[in-house]
């Protein structure tokens, strides 16, 4: 089934902004108040609110690999040399309109999307188990993706995350039938712009829960989750395009495995079918957390001309990771878990220059990998069909609004391949991130 879901910048951002500001102004006129954190306003009864939100992530990366031997100086292509990077710079607002209607609008100053709209949605709560969300928001697939970038355990997400739909235009029914159980079912478009003419509709569904919460076990999380996506996406007629293109975990080498087609049909839009399944697991007790995910993705494409088949793909690829995190300062992971995802860790004692607190300290390790040995195609494939990354990390959470992270990642490939005019089979990256969020 093909549907057209089209949202303009005005309907998503301007209309929501003007409406919520009008409601909030009216609420404040009736003895409203400033939020306790000083970053928001609420009505006297607390049902109508508006909150300022934002984040700034600044990264410094140091590369050591054969791929870095030809370090370009152009700022748009210097991916394989040492870099400074404003990874995220976002500002927005969220809140509620008479309690049961919530909204969020966030703009990304560091976006390559000309619209600069990161998220923009309205959420209607019929009841806790039944809610409707419409706009641009994260689709329910991949636990790493559903964990905010302000709270992820490592600076960058794993190979598995590269198969997540992320933030797309669509609509979703979701909710929590009971404490410890959460679901989401959505329809969305591949396009990320605020207005899309794409006729391709995809779907996603996820069920997640916490067995520890269902069994009333305190201070523990036994998370399970299963998710699926299906649908198709377009590549323009007559174009040479990527069906799939992976990069390393540390955002270094691009195209570690890629499958492209050339001589696309000039008469029709080239439509690629894709279906995916994902499994999630996490176990946390006190300050220790073990988390893992496995994703299987299948792509199908047959672009035939009269009397000949130009390109065919029956592509199967797997990606997975296993991560272990430990809070040295004793914070409990169960305090961060809600509705099928982990949130940010709040230090037991915020850092203070007076010496009264040191914040929260975390150490962790993640092993991430992909396997494309079952990828079958008449189209061109480049890179290595297998690769894995080991990442070591240290996080210092000064307070709920500030964090410093240090990661060291080593990626190895089964076969050497060329990138940035150099050939190699290994990449080593050290990344430092400083961030604030509110």
Q: Is the pLDDT of residue 6 over 80?
A: no
Cβ pair 206, 183 in contact under 8 A: yes
Asked, for residue 57, whether it belongs to a domain, the answer is yes
Cβ pair 240, 305 in contact under 8 A: no
Which H or E element spans position 185? strand 181-188
pLDDT at 12: 45
Asked, for residue 387, whether it belongs to a domain, the answer is yes
pLDDT at 204: 98
pLDDT at 233: 81
Query: Measured on CA atoms in the order 13, 33, 150, 177, is the torsion positive or negative?
Result: negative
Q: Is the pLDDT of residue 251 over 80?
A: yes
Q: What angle do CA 392, 431, 296 make, to 5 degrees?
A: 60
CATH code, domain carrying 413: 2.40.160.10
Q: Which two tokens stand for residue 385?
A: 């069909």
Q: Is the pLDDT of residue 14 over 80?
A: no
Quick: pLDDT tens for 212-248: 999 999 899 999 999 999 998 876 655 567 788 999 9
pTM metric for this prediction: 0.86
Q: Is the pLDDT of residue 381 over 90?
A: no
- CA dist 145 and 293 (Å) reads 11
pLDDT at 302: 73
pLDDT at 265: 52
Average pLDDT over residues 6-12: 45
Chain-centre distance for alpha carbon 211: 25
Asked, for residue 265, whether it belongs to a domain, the answer is yes
Asked, for residue 55, whether it belongs to a domain, the answer is yes
Cβ pair 82, 62 in contact under 8 A: yes
Residue closest to 360 by CA, chosen among 352, 370, 368, 348: 348
pLDDT at 314: 82
Cβ neighbours for 399, distance < 8 A, ≥ 6 positions apart: 347, 350, 351, 359
Residue closest to 142 by CA, chosen among 297, 21, 10, 29: 297
Average pLDDT of every residue of the chain? 85
Checking phi first, is residue 404 left (phi over 0); if not, alpha (psi -120 to 50) or beta?
A: beta
Q: Where are the beta strands (DSSP E) in 286-385?
A: 288-305, 308-327, 337-338, 341-342, 360-371, 376-377, 380-383
- CA dist 80 and 78 (Å) reads 6
Q: Is the pLDDT of residue 7 over 60?
A: no
Average pLDDT over residues 342-366: 96
Number of domains in the chain: 1
Which pairing describes strands 380-383 and 386-399: parallel, antiparallel, or unpaired?
unpaired
pLDDT at 194: 57
Q: Give the number of other CB atoms < 10 A from CB of residue 196.
A: 17
Asked, for residue 71, whether it belongs to a domain, the answer is yes
Owning domain of residue 161:
9-437
- CA dist 280 and 221 (Å) reads 13
pLDDT at 40: 86
pLDDT at 243: 83
Cβ pair 358, 327 in contact under 8 A: no
Residue closest to 245 by CA, chosen among 253, 217, 35: 253
Asked, for residue 120, whether it belongs to a domain, the answer is yes
φ and ψ at 336, to 5 degrees? -105, -5
Cβ pair 23, 15 in contact under 8 A: no
Quick: pLDDT tens for 76-129: 444 555 678 899 999 999 999 988 999 999 999 876 666 689 999 999 999 999
Residue 58: exposed, middle, or buried by beta-carbon count in 10 A (0-12, 13-18, 19+)? middle
Asked, for residue 4, whether it belongs to a domain, the answer is no
Quick: pLDDT tens for 32-79: 777 777 788 988 888 899 999 999 999 998 887 767 554 444 444 445
Task: Output the CA–CA distances (angstroms, integers) from residue 205 to 224, 249, 277, 399, in the order listed.
Answer: 14, 25, 10, 34
Quick: pLDDT tens for 284-328: 999 999 999 999 999 987 765 544 456 677 889 999 999 999 999
Task: Output the CA–CA distances (angstroms, integers) from residue 241 to 237, 260, 417, in the order listed.
Answer: 10, 6, 20
pLDDT at 229: 97
Quick: pLDDT tens for 144-163: 999 999 999 999 999 999 99
Average pLDDT over residues 250-276: 77
Residue closest to 95 by CA, chosen among 43, 168, 170: 43
Q: What angle do CA 391, 394, 398 make, to 5 degrees?
A: 145
Q: Give the number of other CB atoms < 10 A from CB of residue 36.
A: 8
Asked, for residue 128, whether it belongs to a domain, the answer is yes
CA atoms within 13 A on the CB side of 375: 26
């Amino acid at each position: 089934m093909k549907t057209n879901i089209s949202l303009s910048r005005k309907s998503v951002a301007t209309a929501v902004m003007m409406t919520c500001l009008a409601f909030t102004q009216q609420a404040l006129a009736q003895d409203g108040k400033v939020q306790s954190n000083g970053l928001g306003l609420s009505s006297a009864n607390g049902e109508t609110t508006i909150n300022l939100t934002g984040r700034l992530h600044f990264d410094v990366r140091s590369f050591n690999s054969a791929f870095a031997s030809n370090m370009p100086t152009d700022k748009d292509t210097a991916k394989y040399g040492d870099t400074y990077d404003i990874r995220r710079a976002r500002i927005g607002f969220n809140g509620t309109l008479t309690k049961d209607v919530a909204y969020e609008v966030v703009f990304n100053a560091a976006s390559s999307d000309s619209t600069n709209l990161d998220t923009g949605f309205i959420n209607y709560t019929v009841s806790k188990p039944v809610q409707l969300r419409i706009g641009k928001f994260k689709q329910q697939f991949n636990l790493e993706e559903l964990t905010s970038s302000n709270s992820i355990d490592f600076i960058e997400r794993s190979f598995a995350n590269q198969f997540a739909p992320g933030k797309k235009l669509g609509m979703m029914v979701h909710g929590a039938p009971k404490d410890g159980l959460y679901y989401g079912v959505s329809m969305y478009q591949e396009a990320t712009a605020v207005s899309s003419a794409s006729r391709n509709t995809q779907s996603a569904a996820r069920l997640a829960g916490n067995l520890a919460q269902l069994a009333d076990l305190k201070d523990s999380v036994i998370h399970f989750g299963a998710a699926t996506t299906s649908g198709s996406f377009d590549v323009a007629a007559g174009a040479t395009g990527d069906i799939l293109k992976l990069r390393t975990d540390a955002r270094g080498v691009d195209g570690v495995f890629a499958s492209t087609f050339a001589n696309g049909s000039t008469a029709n839009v080239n439509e690629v079918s894709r279906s995916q399944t994902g499994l999630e697991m996490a176990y946390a007790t006190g300050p220790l957390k073990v988390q893992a995910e496995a994703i299987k993705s299948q792509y199908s494409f047959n672009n035939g001309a009269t009397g000949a088949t130009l390109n065919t793909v029956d592509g199967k690829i797997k990606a997975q990771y296993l991560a272990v995190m430990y809070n040295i300062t004793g914070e409990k992971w169960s305090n961060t878990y809600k509705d099928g995802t982990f949130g940010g860790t709040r230090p037991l004692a915020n850092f203070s220059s007076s010496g009264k607190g040191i914040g929260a300290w975390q150490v962790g390790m993640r092993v991430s990998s992909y396997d494309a040995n079952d990828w079958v195609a008449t189209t061109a494939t480049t890179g290595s069909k297998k690769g894995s990354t080991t990442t070591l990390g240290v996080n210092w959470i000064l307070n709920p609004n500030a964090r410093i992270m240090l990661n060291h990642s080593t990626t190895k490939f089964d076969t050497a391949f060329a990138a940035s005019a150099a050939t190699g089979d290994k990449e080593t990256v050290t990344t430092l991130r400083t961030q604030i969020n509110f």
